[in-house]
Structure 1
Amino acid sequence: MFQDKYDVIVVGAGHAGSEAAASAANMGCSTLLVTMNLQNIAQMSCNPAMGGIAKGQIVREIDALGGYSGIVSDKTAIQFKMLNKSKGPAMWSPRVQSDRMRFAEEWRLMLEGTPNLDFYQEMVSGLLIENNKIVGIKTSLGLEIKSKTVVLTNGTFLNGLIHIGDKQFGGGRAGESASFGITEDLVKIGFEAGRMKTGTPPRVDGRSLDYSKMTEQPGDAKPHKFSYLQSIKPLVHQKSCHMTYTSNQVHDYLREGFGRSPMFNGRIKSIGPRYCPSIEDKINRFADKDRHQLFVEPEGWNTVEVYVNGFSTSLPEDIQFKALRSVEGFEKVKFFRPGYAIEYDYFPPTQLKHTLETKLVEGLYFAGQINGTTGYEEAASQGLMAGINAALKVQEKEEFILKRNEAYIGVLIDDLITKGTEEPYRMFTSRAEYRTLLRQDNADFRLTPKGHELGLASEERLIRMEEKFSKSDAMVQFFRETSVKPEEANPILESKESSPMTQPDKMFKVFSRPQIDLEDILKFNKVSEYIDASDLDDEIIEQAEIDVKYSGYIEKERLHADKLNRLEDAIIPDNFDFNKIKSISMEAKQKFNKIRPKTIAQASRISGVSPSDISVLLIYMGR
């Protein structure tokens, strides 16, 4: 039924598993993707959307490296929005509303079109480990499949337990059974495991809603896209979302069910995502608020199913129904299914290396919610990196690790490995100290050469990136070298309420003014001669404008990153004995021995480690 021995086996076919399988196979490794249901490959278990604050940057990074998430998102989008446009470009975050059914279908088609990739549908019930090295997997039918490496991407399925009010039953998500056996195998050999919780809102019949009572939320007038590939086109037609609000009456109905809530009666003991609380958690924690936003999101082009974003809940189904019927526009709502909470096993990520390989078992990698993260994008990026590193291990090549100043993916993995997490981890722009460098617009500059070197990003991508870079750079140089006279500039400056010039100055300096945009600059004679406005590439123009307006911030952050990267290059030997350093704190010793930081920079980011501990460590290492 199978090859004698695979290079890579990926367990689970959610967002992490799909990216892991694609990357390993595209790097030339014989790969097997094993999942409990092949009909649910890359299923959007929760909201039908990709991207968002910081998450959109991650999707663009995955695309720049040669992953599939950006392409699939663009092909199956029903709406596009660039979030945070009122703020600086470091905060701009692309997001698409997706067609849930087409998203999963497109992922499956792309995976089936990927060479070197086999599929198998069955539950993986255990791991084959010999001498602390992975050698394969066991299935529920008793089959043993051999492999050089294994990537676990089990999502919420490991011993999953679903809660709706005072009812609870086993399941990985609604309508699907939980997975058993893997946690027990790992704990038996010394892994630390924990429990986490997440939740999802009710799905409702859009035909039963009154949209005239809601606020329409259309997409951008000029939509962008995730993928840097020119062959992928932006949306032409879009579908609107809508917004409405809860009320005090809704909150009163919800409170009626608190006594039967698994969150409040002690049935759920694990921690849920702080930044995506349930509706009962919101009205309990923010009792002073008399209403909360609800986003009414269509599930696709042709389905009537609707996702009620903001109403995640595990309250009894009768309470959910009664409360939701009191929301404006939902007076006649019909349910497709109630919301629920789910508890599942995870493994604290401090047990991993930066490659996402486990420290205890060689060749075994974890990616996605098994590491304590939440979100499709966070999972997909980990899957991509785990698949890459599993392939590189098989090929006996150098490991691939992204630094914090190179990608949000680098920030995500470093945070997990170094700090760990006791609640579902979600990426935010605030987590990245180099967010001015890590923008969504320049992910191709940062990562496509790396992806091309790995064999994932195509030659087409590299050529496209180099062309974009050379043209935007040439435009910036033109602005740096070209002067403009006061008599030409001042009428435009004054119309924008910007102080007039008293002497000729470089166009770069004029363009740097916050009030001045490209439309103003194109009015200057020399610019209109140099730039053909009818032949402008939006991406190139956007890149040049950002490079001009934020050049000071970008350069300052780059210098700061270079300075701190010297500590990234200060390697701590694998066998370093932290116990022999008497001058560092006991907490630092314990954390160092548990996490085994690879560099001084990583050691400095561990929670509970003080600057004085790092100073002593530097002195001890002769730095």
Structure 2
Amino acid sequence: MALLEETYDIVVVGAGHAGCEAALACARLGFETICFTVSMDSVALMPCNPNVGGSSKGHLVKEIDALGGEMGINIDKTYIQSKMLNKSKGPAVHSLRAQADKAEYSRHMRMTMENTEHLTLRQAEVVEILAEDGKVCGVKTYSGAIYHAKAVVLATGTYLKARCIYGEVSNATGPNGLQAANYLTDSLKSLGIEMYRFKTGTPARIDKRSINFDVMEEQFGDENIVPFSFTNKEEDIKRPQISCWLTYTNEETHNIIRENLHRSPLFSGAIEGTGPRYCPSIEDKVVKFADKNRHQVFIEPEGEYTNEMYVGGMSSSLPEDVQYKMYRSVKGLENVKIVRNAYAIEYDCINPMQLKASLEFKAVDGLFSGGQFNGSSGYEEAAAQGLIAGINACRKLQGKEPVILKRSEAYIGVLIDDLVTKETHEPYRMMTSRAEYRLLLRQDNADLRLTPIGHEVGLINEERYEALLEKEKQIKAEVERVNGKKIGASKEVQELLEQLGSSTLKTAVTLGELIRRPELKYEDLASIDPERPQLDDDVVNQVNINIKYDGYISRQMKQVEQFKKLEVKTIPEEIDYEKVGSLRKEAVQKLSKIRPHSIGQASRISGVSPADISVLLVYLEQYRRNQS
């Protein structure tokens, strides 16, 4: 019997947030791409929280957009509430978050995929990765069909051998009851790929009509909307917003949980996978933070056209009857009706230290990987990796060097470097504290940092790139003008400073010196600056930040220069660390396993000491002399 055989340039396995970004990048770069999904209903599915962005994750979404990805554009189309987090703090940790209409988010992303040239979306389960002589050559589906390809991107999310669990109930399904992918793991193991078993979880969805909102705190969106995509302005996307609500657990809630811990699969041993430290279940919170008598619970709409509400902060895998008691003990949820039970989900993923910094497997040429399959958590982390994996699959076929973002260039660089360099024994979550250069890696300047790279790759068109160059030019010119413009102690100036709660002048100062005062901003001084040009809000924001934080930014730039010295010292792939005399045994083992691409990456490996780096530097100098 003849079986179907087709040929594509690139195959993407999975159509979640990583798969969508990977497939769109490949197709937009002109490669014939097929993207497989176990269900057409799972394209860009949001099986857990109904939001995009948040602390540090907002940075990732802005960076995805700056490189030419789709997530920011899609959430701008489908958000139902927008909020800038951490506004009381400095700009380095400002993080945009938008509540999403889940169904609309998925629908719009699927429409984008279906209407992108060179991209085929296909419902089928991939069961085998085909490889010859250590090089990928295609995939096989459950039906036996073979799809030949020069590169494959794995973005399987939480579907591999997935199992959903609550109490004594265990279902061999993927998220939201969708079909699990039960065969691909064995194929990967046969290629020598090391697998992990991780776990994540989600709270119940409840019926809006059964909630007493009168006793909860209403959470409004921001009046001024900041788009995720740099291609949008506020007026392009502004619309009426839908409120979220805040309530709290209490001692009764905690007692119900404590009395039923023996029935939780988390504590009974029924769950094998390792869960995320920074997104714990309510059972975990009650056990680990026993001194706290309450925890925040956010009631968030799942969309505009549904009564389903998400119970943020109360992820659980407790039995169904306990879930009812637990949720109904919370203020405002006394008569709540559950629409979907909370559950934990276990799934297979990889040890990401098997990947190069390009997200290509070291052991299989042409096989790339992105998303939760790489041991990360979250939609945003997944999309970022998917975009880079897709870009680098294309770069490989183009015979070009891969795009490897440095830790000093992007949060995406921090994310990927952490995954491929540091041992990950639990789902990885991005946080602002992980970025050493976070003052430089603000979400507001993601386009200035990364759009030139997106343009060089081919995902940013000429018009957008020219607009960026004009923006850079305006920022530079205005910063120079403001730092050079003298302001005297006139009556008008003194009155304005008093009005703004700032000390008056004794002698003339520059406008820049005034802006550096903590209580003053560039915008505040418009009335005493008649030469001020008409500038877009995003240019004004950059001028204000560049002047106000000039000293801190300059200091971090010097640190980056030191950092770059180690990053540019590349390590040849063929180095045999066993031959490097005086390296400690642990360092030899770690370096041989991870095979870092630079001295900088080597220095971040756990178990490699500064002394080991010194030895390695001396050895590399001798090695290069011998090679020449």
TM-score (ref. length: structure 1): 0.97
Indicate whether 1:371 and 2:384 are aligned: no
**More moved, 513-522 vs 384-393:** 513-522
Q: Name the residue aligned to 1:498.
A: 502
Q: What is the CA-CA distance between 1:81 and the residue it aligns to?
A: 0.6
Q: Which amino acid aligns with 2:159?
A: F
Q: How far apart in 2 are the matches of 1:578 and 1:199?
A: 41
Number of the residue aligned with 1:215: 217
Tell me, yes or no, if the aligned pair for 2:526 and 2:532 is still in contact at 8 Å.
no
Q: In 1, Cα distance between the equivalents of 2:4 and 2:91? A: 49
> Are the aligned partners of 1:224 and 1:234 in contact in 2 as well (CA < 8 Å)?
no
* Equivalent residue for 2:184, pick from 174, 178, 182: 182
Q: Tell me if structure 1 keeps the 8 A contact 2:201–2:343.
A: yes
| Counterpart Cα distance in 1 of 2:417 and 2:318 | 36
What is residue 279 of structure 1 aligned with on the other side?
Answer: 282
In 1, the alpha carbon distance for the partners of 2:131 and 2:96 equals 42
Cα-to-partner distance string for 1:157-189 (whole Å, 9 max, x where unaligned): 111111111111211112112112211112123
Say if 2:577 is the partner of 1:573. no
Shift of 1:519: 3.9
| Distance in structure 1 (CA, Å) of the matches to 2:522 and 2:604 | 41
Give 1:3 deviation, angstroms: 7.5
Note the C-alpha offset of 1:372: 0.3
Query: Matched residue pairs, number?
Result: 618
- 1:115: which partner in 2? 117
Q: CA deviation at 1:347?
A: 0.7
In 1, the alpha carbon distance for the partners of 2:530 and 2:239 equals 29
- In structure 2, what is the equivalent of residue 31 of structure 1? 33
Match of residue 558 from structure 1 = 557
CA 431–2 in structure 1, closer or farther in 2 if over 3 Å, else same: farther
What is the distance in 1 between the residues matched to 2:477 and 2:339? 55
Change (3 A) 1:539 1:234: farther
What CA deviation, in whole Å up to 9, does each residue of 1:256-302 have, x standing for no partner?
32111001111112211111000011001111111000011001112
Check the 8 A contact 2:522/2:543 in 1, yes or no.
Answer: no
TM-aligned CA distance change 1:2 to 1:65, over 3 Å: farther
Q: Does 1:514 align with 2:518?
A: yes
State which of 459, 472, 487 in structure 2 corresponds to 1:469: 472
Correspondence for 1:289 among 271, 289, 292? 292
Kept in 1, the 8 Å contact 2:175–2:345? The answer is yes
Residue 538 of structure 1 is matched in structure 2 by 537
Q: Is the 8 A contact 1:5 1:148 kept in 2?
A: no
Distance 1:9 1:189 in 2: 18
Are 1:61 and 2:60 counterparts? no
What is the aligned-residue identity percentage? Answer: 49
Pick the aligned partner of 1:8 from 7, 10, 16: 10
Match of 2:625 in 1: none
Answer yes or no: is 1:307 the counterpart of 2:306: no
Which range moves more in the overlay, 577-586 or 537-546? Answer: 577-586
| Distance in 1 separating the partners of 2:272 and 2:160 | 16
Contact 1:19–1:387 (Cα < 8 Å) also in 2: yes
Which residue pairs with 2:73 in the alignment?
71
Give the match for residue 227 of structure 1.
Answer: 229
Aligned residues of 1:79 and 1:235 also touching (Cα < 8 A): no
CA–CA separation in structure 2 for the residues paired with 1:82 and 1:273: 25
- Structure 2 distance, partners of 1:500, 1:348, is 60
Q: Which runs of 5+ in 2 are unaligned?
A: 623-628
Which residue number in structure 2 is paired with residue 100 of structure 1? 102
- Equivalent in the alignment of 2:268: 265
Partner SS, residue 63 of structure 1? helix
Kept in 2, the 8 Å contact 1:71–1:227? The answer is: yes
Secondary structure of residue in 2 paired with 1:598:
coil
TM-score (norm 2): 0.96
C-alpha displacement of 1:2: 7.5
Q: 1:154 to 1:493 in 2, by over 3 A?
A: same
Matched residues in 1 for 2:233 and 2:601: separation? 40
| Conserved? CA contact 1:78–1:235, under 8 Å | no
Kindly tell me: are residues 350 and 3 of structure 1, through their superposed partners in 2, closer, same or farther at Cα, counting changes over 3 Å?
same
Q: Deviations over 1:289-348 (max 9, x none)?
A: 110000110011121110010010000011011111111111111111110001111111
1:64-463 equivalence runs, <5 A: 64-230=66-232, 233-463=236-466
Matched-pair contact (CA < 8 Å) for 1:228–1:461: no
The question of whether the paired residues in 1 share the 8 Å contact of 2:13 and 2:155 is answered with yes
CA distance in 1 between counterparts of 2:47 and 2:530 reads 50
Matched letter for residue 87 of structure 1: K
Whole-Å separation in 2 of the counterparts to 1:471 and 1:239? 37
Say whether the 8 Å CA contact 2:18–2:370 is kept in structure 1.
Answer: yes
* Secondary structure of 1:138 counterpart: strand
What displacement does 1:494 show? 3.4
Alignment partners' CA distance in 2, 1:460 and 1:251 = 56
For 1:443, the aligned partner's letter is A
Amino acid in structure 1 at the alignment position of 2:506: T
CA RMSD of aligned residues (A): 1.5
